[in-house]
Amino acid sequence: MLTRDVQVLSVPSTELHKVAISKHADARFQTNQTNPVHNTVYRDYPFFTDIQVMIFLGFGCLLAFFRLYGFGGMVLNFLMATFATQWAILVQGYFQFYHDGKIHLGVINLINAEFACAVVLISFGAVLGKTSPLQLLVMALLEVPVFAVTEWTVLTYLKINDAGGSILIHLFACYFGLGVTSVLYRSGLNEGHVKENTSYHSDILSVMGTLFLWVFWPSFNSALCLNGDDQHRAILHTFIGLSASTLTAFALSAMFNKNGKLTMADIQNVTLAGGVTVGASVDMMITPAAAYALGMMGCIACMLGYKYLSPFLAQRCRIQDQCGIHNLHGLTGLISCAAGICAILMASEDVYGPSLYEIFTHRAPVEGDPKLQELQMLIPGLQAGLGRSAREQALFQVAALFFTIGMSALGGILTGCVLRLPYLASPSDDCCFDDELFFEVPPDYDLPLKICNKITVDDSAA
C-alpha cells in the first residue's frame, strides 16, 4: 500500500533493529501549546479501528461458512491476524519506518501492518480447511516478508498509484494463495468432500462477516489517501461501487438459479466485488457513473468466475481455490487495474487543477523546473517529482502489475513447497474441513451432518 509521509523521532543510537515510538506518541514533543488535532492519532485511529473490525470480525465470520469448520474459520483467522500483524510491524518497519537504528512505531504503522495482514487472510481463503494451524503460521511467516519486499520495490522504484490496494493487496494475495494451493493440490478432494458444505447457521454467520466488510470497506480504501478531498472521493466511490455490485449480485443470483431463488454463496462473496474494482482509481476524478459501472463489471466477472472459472481451474489446472479468491480478488483486481490505468491516462490539469501533482506526485516537475516554483506558490510544500507524463505513469502501473503477480505466484509456489514438509501436521483428506482434528469440540457439533446423512439414507432405503 501507499504510505503517507510520517514524522518520526530521530534519536541517535548504535543499537540496531529496535522499536521506538513515533514523534506523535512521544511525551517530550508534546507541550501545553501543542494542538491535539495535529496529532496523527486523530487522523489515523478511526481508520485503524474500522480496519480492525474488518480483519477480526469481517474475515473471521466470512470464513466460518463450513458447517463443521466454524472454529477453524474464526479462531485460526484470529490467530493468523494477530501473528501476521505483529510480524508485519517489524518487517514493514524495517523497509519503511527505519531511521537511526530504530523502527519508529505509530498508528500509521499499524494500519500498514493490517493491510499486510489482510493479504495473508485473503490467501488463507484458498487453502481453508485443508491446512493445519502450524502450516498457516508458517505460511504467514513467509508471506509477509515476500509482500513487504514486493511493496517496497514497487513503491520505491516503480512509484505507482494504488490507494485502494488493487495491485499490492488484492492481486498479490490472490496469486500468492493460488500458488500455495496449486502445490498443495489434493486429487482426493476434486470430486467434493462430504464435509465440504454449509448449514443454515454457518451461512448466517458468514453473511454477518460480509456485512462487516461491506460497511467498513470505504475506510479500507480511503485510509491511506491524502487527507481531505482525496479521502472524500474514495469514500464516495467505494460506497457507490459496493452498492452497484450488491444490486447486481442479487439480480444475477436469481437469474442463474433455475427456480429464481437467491444463493447464499453469491450474497456472501459477489456483493463485495465493487469494493475491489474501484480500488485502483478510488481517489481519482472518476465520475459516480464510472464507479457504478466498475461495481457492476466486477460483480459480473466475479459471478461468472464462481460459476465457470473455479471448476475449470480445479479440474484442468490443479488449482483448488476453496473460497474463490481468484474471483473476488483476482478478476476484480485486474479490472480495477485497467480502470486505474485509464484514469491515469486521462488525468490532466484541466480536470484536477494544480492538485494533479499532489495526487500523482511523480508527475510533478523535477527540481529546478520553473513550473515547480509556480506550483509551489499555489500549493506550499509541494515536493519535486520525476516529471513523468501520463503515459509514462501508466506504463509503470503495468510494470508493477506484472511484477507483483510474478513475485506473488513465485512466493506462493515456494511457500507451498515448504508447507508440504511432513513435520507441519497436514490433515489427511478425511479430516479436512473438520474442527475435531485441532479443537476440543462439543459432543453435538456434527449433529446437523448426522441428521442430514440419516435423512439421505432413509430416503434411499425408501
Answer yes or no: is pLDDT of 130 > 90.
Answer: yes
Answer yes or no: is pLDDT of 352 > 80.
Answer: yes
Answer yes or no: is pLDDT of 32 > 60.
Answer: no
CB contact at 8 A, 69 and 435: yes
Tell me the sheet residues that pair with 99.
102
Q: Which of 138, 345, 51, 355 is nearest to 233 (CA)?
A: 355
Q: What is the pLDDT of residues 133-170, one digit of tens each?
A: 999 999 999 999 999 999 999 999 999 999 999 999 99
Q: Which of 78, 182, 68 is nearest to 121 (CA)?
A: 78
Residue 460 exposed, middle or buried by CB count within 10 Å (0-12, 13-18, 19+): exposed
| pTM (2 d.p.) | 0.90
Contact partners, residue 363, CB within 8 Å, separation at least 6: 347, 356, 357, 385, 386, 387, 388, 389, 390, 393
Q: Which of 157, 188, 143 is nearest to 399 (CA)?
A: 157
CB contact at 8 A, 2 and 165: no
**Structure confidence at residue 96 as a pLDDT band (50, 70, 90):** confident
Answer yes or no: is pLDDT of 8 > 50.
Answer: no
Residue 250: other Cβ atoms inside 10 A: 16
**Structure confidence at residue 36 as a pLDDT band (50, 70, 90):** low
Residue type, 133: P
In a 3-state reduction of DSSP, which class is residue 105?
Answer: strand
The residue ranges of every structural domain in the chain are 18-28+41-346+389-428
In a 3-state reduction of DSSP, which class is residue 65?
Answer: coil
Q: What is the pLDDT of residues 57-82, one digit of tens each?
A: 999 999 999 999 999 999 999 999 99
DSSP run (H or E) holding 261: none
CA distances from 377 to 356, 367, 380 (A): 15, 15, 6
Q: Which of 80, 86, 92 is nearest to 121 (CA)?
A: 80
Question: What's the CATH number of domain 18-28+41-346+389-428, 3.40.50.720, 3.40.1480.10, 1.10.3430.10, 2.60.40.650?
Answer: 1.10.3430.10
d(CA 193, CA 202): 17
- Mean pLDDT, residues 375-399: 92
Lowest-confidence region among 8-22, 208-222, 265-279, 345-359: 8-22
- Mean pLDDT, residues 293-303: 97
Q: Which of 312, 314, 71, 70 is nearest to 181 (CA)?
A: 314
Read off the C-alpha cell for 138.
508458517
CA distances from 94 to 81, 103, 291, 320 (A): 20, 6, 36, 35
Q: What is the dihedral of CA 425, 431, 435, 437, to 10 degrees?
A: -50
d(CA 189, CA 302): 23
